Chain A
Amino acid sequence: MSDARLIPFRPATEETPTTRLVLIGLAIGGLGLLVFGPLLIVFAEALAQGWGAAIAALSNPDAASAMRLTLIIAAIAVPLNAAFGIAAAWFITKFDFRGKAFLITLIDLPFSVSPVVAGLCIILMFGSNSLLGGWLVASGYPIVFALPGIILATMFVTFPFVARELIPVMIEQGRAEEEAALTLGASGWRVFATVTLPNIRWALLYGVLLSNARAMGEFGAVAVVSGKIRGQTATMPITIEMLYNEYLSVAAFSLAAVLTLLALLTLLLKTALELRHADQLAAARRP
């Protein structure tokens, strides 16, 4: 047949084999060095003296208290932030008003402010030296060096995640579907529950997972406001640091392994949901 077939053919967007090898090597090497390697070391160190030592370290009352505290913080801060994030994104994308750009910048503020500074702000506002804090302590509701302060700090640090995931999605989707639902007689709440929420659920899920990961892992802001009271206000990341500084490496890494497992669990959950709802994900794309 024609000689043209013999000419080596390569699509315009495809790189040469050497380039591809280098890129793939870099990607795998980078992932291995920066992600998988450290993860493996965490587990290896935790089990350096066998399962028994690791489990004993985790059953220590302070470790148990840290795990409980971290889960409680995530269970309170993440839903609250999801609600605030939805409200903020909804407000920003469905209404036109002055100062919108400023509000969007404000939402990003926690990303640009150092968590330590955020923690200090909370102490200045609610610490016993402040007017509000003094009154709260006197009435028996201390914020700083107690659970409420830790939750405030965590919420501050994780606030942008949900709103940031939602805003671009909601802008892209526009208001037409909501308006259509209104013309069909649905009330505002019904529109939110049956049109808005289903349309943003994947972005919402990602936002919640990200903010959950960060809520469980937050160190800086929490370190400042918690006072690091062992068995009371020391969260998992803070307890890990304290144990490590005391050369209790098995205990530190066992707790770190649990924190890592919690993170992996969230990832697994996300993947499972994606697989289960693959058809809906495909259908949810803009028609």
Chain B
Amino acid sequence: MHIEIDEISKQFGITAALHPVSLAIPSAALVALLGPSGSGKTTLLRILGGLEFPTSGRVLFDGQDATALTVQERRAGFVFQSYALFRHMTVFDNIAYGLTARPRANRPPRAEIARRVTKLLDLIQLPAVGTRFPSQLSGGQRQRVALARALAIEPRMLLLDEPFGALDAKVRKELRQGLRDIHDETGLTTIFVTHDQDEAMELADLVVVMSMGRIEQIGKPADIRARPASAFVRDFISA
């Protein structure tokens, strides 16, 4: 799905989290929102997912104005920074949640739900953890379960907030490839937030560098490396 962000701004009281920003994300792209802490990355991602509403500006999905769509109507697969797995449910029930929450009329039958959950567990290469609780998983496993849960609703886009932030370096490298593979397999427009320039440069097709609620530069990793648009970008990517 093609996503367009049109002059979006966001105020929290007197704090301007986002000055008007504009950005077009081509369908099926893998995009990184890169920037230091507090630069407005999470806010922008949450506005796309419908968890936060912009102070001004519009969001367009495939050319249609989506600004007023509720979080449920957006159908965005959202992976939270701390994963936000339902702690009182098994991994299976976590992944099935979005399907069982559908209104009865278009809720798949139980067997179909089970089949899809099993398929997702295979996709994230954790076929045997269905009966466990989130507290019984490692950090990397939790991240993959959160991803499977987001994919279960057959989302129109995938939004991930610092998906690798809480993991150690080795697991992080593995999961990067995992995300790339899942993106390529599903063809979903995918936007992830990171403050790690290596991660953004290595993984993304398109990198959006942000600072203090503004977009500093949008470009392919190689272009940003070769021609940083500002002193900030140059410093940030060489850090």
Contacts and interface: CB of A to CB of B under 8 A. Distances in A.
Nearest to A181: B97
B85 interface: yes
Given A186-B72, A187-B72, A284-B88, A176 B102 contact: no
Contacts of B134: 287
A139 interface: no
Contacts of A17: none
A100 interface: no
B84 A180 contact: yes
Contact of B97 (A186, A199, A280): A186
A181 B78 contact: no
Contacts of A274: none
Contacts of B75: 185
Contacts of A184: 97-98, 101, 149-150, 152-153
Given A283-B133, A287-B142, A182 B86 contact: no
B137 interface: yes
A184 to B, nearest CB: 4
A183 B82 CA distance: 15
Contacts of B102: 185
A285 B87 contact: yes
Interface residues of B, number: 32
Contacts, number: 82
B137 A283 contact: no
A276 interface: no
A179 to B, nearest CB: 6
A282 B75 CA distance: 33
A180 B77 CA distance: 9
A198 interface: yes
Contacts of A176: 80, 82, 84
B71 interface: yes
Contacts of A190: 101
A10 interface: no
Interface string A38-49: 000000000000
A15 interface: no
B177 to A, nearest CB: 24
A190 B83 CA distance: 20
A182 B85 contact: no
A195 interface: yes
Contacts of A282: 135
Interface string A163-192: 000000000000011011111111100100
Given A182-B71, A183-B76, A287 B85 contact: yes
B71 A183 contact: yes
Contacts of A187: 72, 101
A185 B49 CA distance: 11
Nearest to A195: B86
A280 B86 CA distance: 12
A248 B74 CA distance: 71
Given A176-B82, A179-B80, A287-B142, A185 B72 contact: yes
A149 B133 CA distance: 47
Interface string B72-109: 10111110101111111000000001100110000000
A287 B80 contact: no
Interface in B141-162: 142, 149-150, 152-153
B119 to A, nearest CB: 17
Nearest to B76: A183
B171 interface: no
A5 interface: no
A185 B98 contact: yes
9 contacts: A177-B87, A185-B102, A194-B101, A195-B86, A283-B87, A283-B88, A287-B133, A287-B134, A287-B137
10 tightest A-B CB contacts, nearest first: A184-B98, A176-B84, A283-B133, A186-B101, A287-B134, A287-B135, A183-B78, A180-B84, A198-B88, A182-B71
